[in-house]
Amino acid sequence: MKYTLSSSKNVSGEISVPGDKSISQRAFLLNSIANGIAHVGNICVGDDKASILRCLRSLGVSIVEHSNCKITNSKECFEVYGRGRFGMLEPSEILFAGNSGTAMRLIVGLLSASPFSSQITGDESLIKRPMGRIIKPLSSMGADISSKNGDDFPPLSIQGKQLQGIKYEMPISSAQVKSCLMIAALHSEGKSEIIQPSLSRDHTERMMSAMGGDVAQEGLKVIVNPSDLTSKDISVPGDISSAAFWMVLGCIHPESKIKITNIGINSTRLGIIDVLKSMNANLYLENEREINNEPVADVIVKSSDLTNIEISGDLVPRIIDELPILALAACFAKGQTVVKDASELKFKESDRILATVEGLSSLGADIIATDDGFVVNGGKKLTGGHCFSHGDHRIAMTMAIAGIMAEGVTTITGAEAVDVSYPMFWDTLKILCDALDLHKNE
């Protein structure tokens, strides 16, 4: 599917974004292994939600959708009937995680400790993403996991075992890998210690703790003891990674004012706001509050004169998903922006280093790929052109925002990729952009 669009003179409005994808998936999985019944509202939309729900239902979890949920003040609500820590049922078919790396990694952590055999796979993109970073530590805990071709890529076959606690130093910070190991640790014998080289998003720690799990954090170390969870109602805050596209649009458009409501501002996810503020963004928070152990606020962003920045080291895990759209922000900043220590980008839904550089270069940006990031020389005007999503939702949305800023018409092939996380993206774009000329072509 192709979308064509052109620049917009004005960008303004008040919008909301889908519920946070990371929190939504954890809310479903942790309530599935908890004791009791929970309501989960304001969840993420798109294919990733469907992927984890399909997997959990195949494992015997009853998850019922309702049109209204008074507990979470959400129009859409899911009632999750927890089966307890060891209550999963052997699936009658191969589990399919779609395009969701989060779903696959979290589910594999659960399957490793479940007393049955199972298999899990994904779509064409996901089966190209290596799973060695979870297979190695899980195997050290006693897990029996094999890949079809012996190369650590899905499909994976798992024979559930009684796992043992582990002390594991992660070579690279990853919230997905950490969460996978934490879920396995809940089902293990003995204490587990997971040591990160730098902080990554801590939604799993917060949620497990709120549900009564024996979880503690000491600096970069997460300590998990086997323990039962109690079901908990959760209203999911807006996804800051989805909001990032509108934050950047508000900064780089010369005539803009955007308010984004109910956004999760977890300290481990504030990298996008910290970076934009360091780039001199006209951005601030209001109505700060806390919901279900997660901080929330409204974000206001206006036209800004951005300056260059270097992004590296401990900052990278905090903004790994936002780096493609930050590359676009750098195109409109004064000076040279450097992103390094971000080789993790190569193992996302696409090789996001190459996909970002290729897409923005096709519109005239001065951007060069490196082994672990990219270098952007700001100030060069963008012109319309032809971009490809590479089947990656974040690349598709980045190119759409670039198209709003480019002179002339921009065409994005593979634009349907946005449905993975943000099916209403195009509708929100129309709300914000005055007289937007947007066309969909099958």
Active site residues: 321
At residue 21, what are phi and psi to the nearest 5 degrees? -65, -45
Q: Is the peptide bond preceding residue 18 cis, with omega within 30 degrees of 0?
A: no
- The C-alpha torsion from 273 through 275 and 279 to 281, rounded to 10°, is 0
What is the distance between the alpha carbons of residues 343 and 208, in angstroms, rounded to a whole number? 30
CB 108 within 8 A of CB 184: no
Structure tokens at 51: 């992927």
* DSSP class per residue in 67-106: S-BTTTTBSSEEEEE---TT-PPPPSS-EE-TT-HHHHHH
**Residue (of 124, 36, 55) closest to 93 by Cα position:** 55
- The radius of gyration computed from the CA coordinates of the chain, to the nearest angstrom, equals 21
Q: Which two tokens stand for residue 382?
A: 């963008």
Distance (Å, whole) CA 126 – CA 51: 12
For β-strands 2-6 and 438-441, DSSP reports them as: antiparallel
